[in-house]
Structure 1
């Protein structure tokens, strides 16, 4: 039986936790995390980025990180000036979180990168995965995962892994029910935002408290790559989830919840 530690919500800077999904996913992937955070009195909000989840945009038409992240930046823009949120970005959702930090640093109390692309200024999110997927040039020439939304004679517009690859890369420790949910819910990944260089400045991006959660049985973003990310771009805190694949919201939801509560309660 799992017993929830008592949570002190008295002096929190914010109770709002915005959950930003990774590539191919949508708000749906956070269903366990949403209920666990709500049970202790926090206010989790899961967003669909452009062309993801139940957002009706064609993923092939999403050609910039700005456009892809618009549901997140629109949400932050609409917040009252005196209100802050905690952002949690999974996988490629880390790029949207970094972009949001650059745009709205004063509205973000903490940023959590969950096995995510925590890139440096001038880096492409794709660079983080490139150990796995070879260089961008080679990948774009050879990849059998590419989607050509504008026709074969035009540059590729998206990525789509097949079911067996997704299972091996993302869900090597996840319950079969969640793998089945993902199989019917995942959508093609807009390619252009992954290939875009981020522009991040010390006076905006650099002012936020960043935390990184490492997943130690991850086949998509290997523990070595995650180590390199935190070495190159040191966050304020590092947490580790043992036995977690790339998707701890499926494979280790209680462990993830415990860490998010701890980060929320940090001064």
Structure 2
């Protein structure tokens, strides 16, 4: 039997970051499992997502969108956080890694957009769109006109068929129903200066944080080829695979994802 001090040492603080149009609510299965194992947990809503009070057109920059995460990581104990973002974007995790590398023991990209040092963060989203056939890219998603401090633009509202066939096709029906009710329009901020800055992510900060990429093997949105391309762009990234996982890994394979997170937590102190 482990001593109480040994057991306490292995407990970690996980920071769970949602993807585009989603919110902290999408982590409910994983959050319950991690808490039952004694881990500390922060599942947060980025600006204008989940139950955050702002509207999408009130969030004027990617920095402002990412602020809830940046504030949470800034307040965390050094080395105590594990980040696990679901569907791409957000790229907010990469921004937090660049700003606070000493606060993050390991960053877990769960079938998510993972940028690399030396290229703009927006390259991953552009490459994803380039590799996806136009007829299957957006399906019944709606483009919502917005006007914020950066000027006129569009946000994306995920359609029910897109969610069913691209994100949640392997997930329980109740998780798909929940997503259909709770998704909100999301802004990819492709014209934001942060997305275009090739020097933003540095070897000394972002590159110094251990990265683990979780490949969702049954992902209907981002292909395995695309996911492994991102891994190849960041040499040294560890890879975990989850068979039968769709894009919403936290819904389709929550137990398997928790096992991967626990494995990573035990490996990286």
* Change in CA separation of 1:211 and 1:18 when aligned onto 2, cut-off 3 Å: same
Alignment partner of 1:53 is 2:54: no
Could you say what secondary structure the match of 1:214 adopts? Answer: strand
What corresponds to 2:3 in structure 1?
Answer: none
Q: What does residue range 112-191 of structure 1 map to in structure 2 within 5 Å? A: 112-120=108-116, 121-124=119-122, 125-130=124-129, 131-132=131-132, 145-150=142-147, 155-191=152-188
Alignment partner of 1:86 is 2:85: no
1:88 CA drift (Å)? 1.1
Structure 1 unmatched runs, 5+: 1-7
Checking the alignment, whether the CA contact within 8 Å between 2:30 and 2:254 is kept in structure 1 is yes
Could you say what secondary structure the match of 2:84 adopts? Answer: strand
1:44 CA drift (Å)? 1.8
Q: Distance in 1 between matches of 2:190 and 2:175?
A: 26
1:247 CA drift (Å)? 0.6
> TM-score, normalization: structure 1?
0.86
1:227 CA drift (Å)? 1.2
1:15 CA drift (Å)? 1.1
Root mean square deviation of aligned Cα:
2.4
Q: Distance in 1 between matches of 2:40 and 2:201?
A: 28
What corresponds to 1:5 in structure 2?
Answer: none
Could you say what secondary structure the match of 1:174 adopts? Answer: coil
What corresponds to 1:110 in structure 2?
Answer: 106
* Change in CA separation of 1:83 and 1:223 when aligned onto 2, cut-off 3 Å: closer
| Residue deviations 1:105-140 (CA, integer Å, cap 9, x gap) | 111111000001001232404224212266xxxx99
1:197 CA drift (Å)? 2.8
Could you say what secondary structure the match of 2:91 adopts? Answer: helix
Q: What does residue range 1-267 of structure 1 map to in structure 2 within 5 Å? A: 9-12=7-10, 15-80=12-77, 82=78, 84-120=80-116, 121-124=119-122, 125-130=124-129, 131-132=131-132, 145-150=142-147, 155-192=152-189, 196-197=195-196, 199-267=200-268
Structure 2 unmatched runs, 5+: 1-5
1:156 CA drift (Å)? 2.4
1:217 CA drift (Å)? 0.6
* Change in CA separation of 1:133 and 1:161 when aligned onto 2, cut-off 3 Å: farther
> TM-score, normalization: structure 2?
0.85
| Residue deviations 1:240-266 (CA, integer Å, cap 9, x gap) | 010111011111111111101100000
Q: Distance in 2 between matches of 1:31 and 1:128?
A: 30
Q: Distance in 2 between matches of 1:111 and 1:99?
A: 12
Could you say what secondary structure the match of 2:15 adopts? Answer: strand
Could you say what secondary structure the match of 1:157 adopts? Answer: strand
Aligned length: 250
| Residue deviations 1:11-52 (CA, integer Å, cap 9, x gap) | 33x610000000011000000000111111111210000010
Q: Distance in 1 between matches of 2:238 and 2:79?
A: 23
Q: Distance in 1 between matches of 2:187 and 2:164?
A: 20
